[in-house]
Amino acid sequence: MESWPYITVPDGLPNVRIESAAPQDLSDIRAAYEHGRVTQREQGSMVWPEFTDAAILGEIDARHLFRVVVDDAIVGVFSVAYEDPAIWGPYERGAHLYLHRIARAAQYPGRGLMDAILAWAGHQCTVLGRDGLRVDTWASNTTLIAFYQRRGFRLVGERRLGADPRLPPHYHGNAFALLERSCDA
């Protein structure tokens, strides 16, 4: 699948760029994921596992991992998938753009980060002719679900996942909220 190495976020969000992550970004990516785990613990949510360097570098090599840059600083990261049958199961139609592992750098207050990601993803969704954007989170994370809903996502359903070799173990046995919105919501 084609990747976009450097894109200025549409809609006039100043100084924000979305770029493909590179191997030299590994420490910044790890720091953003660690900040995500800290936030998850503080909110009493389930917590991401420590992602291995090999897993992160594999996503970089596949051009699925992106960084959000303000001026010259990486302020956030996220992954993109073009299908997600392991999580979405019977809801999967191969017609959406999926956002995963959205995390921000600890030093960045987060103001506008998700809006920048959604503006970029909405643009890519339209360019690719997809039906919309999809995200998932633990079904118990009502705070994040409400956050997504305020950004135009609607709850499609919940799905409890069994053991699946396509997924890391932290997914096994857990219920996930599945949310989607149009490209331009």
Note whether residue 67 is domain-resident.
yes
pLDDT 10s digit of each residue in the chain, 185 long?
344 444 555 555 567 889 999 999 999 999 999 999 998 888 888 888 889 999 999 999 999 999 999 888 999 999 999 999 999 999 999 999 999 999 999 888 767 889 899 999 999 999 999 999 999 999 999 999 999 999 999 999 999 999 999 988 888 999 999 999 999 87
pLDDT score for 145? 95
Note whether residue 179 is domain-resident.
no
- Closest Cα to residue 69, out of 32, 36, 122? 32
Note whether residue 139 is domain-resident.
no
Q: Residue 35 maps to which CATH number?
A: 3.40.630.30
Q: How many domains is the chain partitioned into structurally? A: 1
Going across the sheet that includes 65-70, the strands are 6-8, 16-20, 65-70, 73-81, 96-104, 132-138, 175-182, 154-160
